[in-house]
Amino acid sequence: MSTNKIIRVYGIPNCDTVKKARAWLTAQGLDYEFHDFKKQGVPADKLPSWMQAVGWEKLTNRQGTTWRKLDPTLQSSVVDAASATRVLQEHPSAIKRPVVEWADGDITVGFNAENWLASRV
């Protein structure tokens, strides 16, 4: 087993859900690395694996402020993984957060303490 397997959390630091997820990880004593979409952008090579793991529909946060502010024509152009990739790369705040790459290779989107506790600790 590789010793460099760590938890990676992707998101925006001022997002309430990301704050809760990071606090939960810290409270559980789990080390993680944080990747800030605002400062570091969205790693283009990650979007396909995230979409394969959870689906482009789940990864696209259609409930958030960023999505609602997008031009309706742009919103309606998101119909598959390729079109979602283009929009999410350009508008990282439209990605549902946090995206977590767990040490075991699993990928989750969003934060649910009960689910995380049942499957991670």
Give the residue numbers marked as catalytic: 15
Q: What is the C-alpha to C-alpha distance for residues 83 and 110, in angstroms, rounded to an integer?
A: 21
112: enclosing H helix or E strand:
none
- Listed residue (47, 36, 29, 32) closest to 14, CA to CA: 36
**Distance (Å, whole) CA 36 – CA 28:** 21
Distance CA 104, CA 9 (A): 14
